[in-house]
Amino acid sequence: MRADARKNYDHLLEIGRDVVAEQGADASMRDVARRAGVGIGTLYRHFPTREALLEALLRGSFDRVTAGAAELAARHDSGAALLAWLRDMVALTHSHRGVIAAMTSAIAAPESALHASCVALRASGAQLLARAQADGKARADIDGTDLLALVSALAWLNDQPPFAERVDRLLDVVARAIMV
């Protein structure tokens, strides 16, 4: 990528991050272009869809949580590693408002730009869950999809103003329900 194109790309990502933080995953592509001071065509050349922009914004965060799962497994017992991953996931969804719908849709859509990152993220939690289950520290009747569904529910609650202040407490309730 040429230096000027890379500069535009990085600038669009920076502005896109701000707009998505304010508006959520359904952020207006026109707002991103306007705030970046470029035409909509320039934005679409770099990010042909909102999903492509989200993928570029989220890939790093998803990859950090996925890689963090391996570190958690190496440093903590299986129960503590699973709980730490749950907290990391909830923090991730809190920092990227509205992203959970995009994540769950992408898992079911192999053609999605977010698919690979989302599948890897879910798999990292499933591996920690399986390890905790093998050690007798987590319920045996749930799987990685259930785990992601619980995180999704907490993310949705965080996006609802009347419930947002309860999410941390509810995470503790969910954690106690998962662990034995």
pLDDT in single tens digits along all 180 residues of the chain: 788 888 989 999 999 989 988 888 889 999 999 999 999 999 999 999 988 898 898 888 888 999 999 999 999 999 999 999 999 999 888 878 788 888 888 899 999 888 998 999 999 999 999 999 999 999 999 999 999 999 999 999 988 899 999 999 999 999 999 999
Q: What stretches of the chain show up as alpha helix (H) in DSSP?
A: 3-23, 29-36, 40-46, 50-75, 78-95, 99-107, 115-134, 144-158, 161-164, 167-178
* Distance between CA atoms of residues 108 and 118, nearest Å: 10
Q: What stretches of 96-143 show up as alpha helix (H) in DSSP?
A: 99-107, 115-134
Looking at CATH, the fold of the domain delimited by 1-48 is given as Arc Repressor Mutant, subunit A (1.10.10)
- Which residues in the chain are classed under CATH 1.10.357.10? 50-178
- Which residues in the chain are classed under CATH 1.10.10.60? 1-48
Q: Does domain 50-178 have CATH number 1.10.1740.10?
A: no
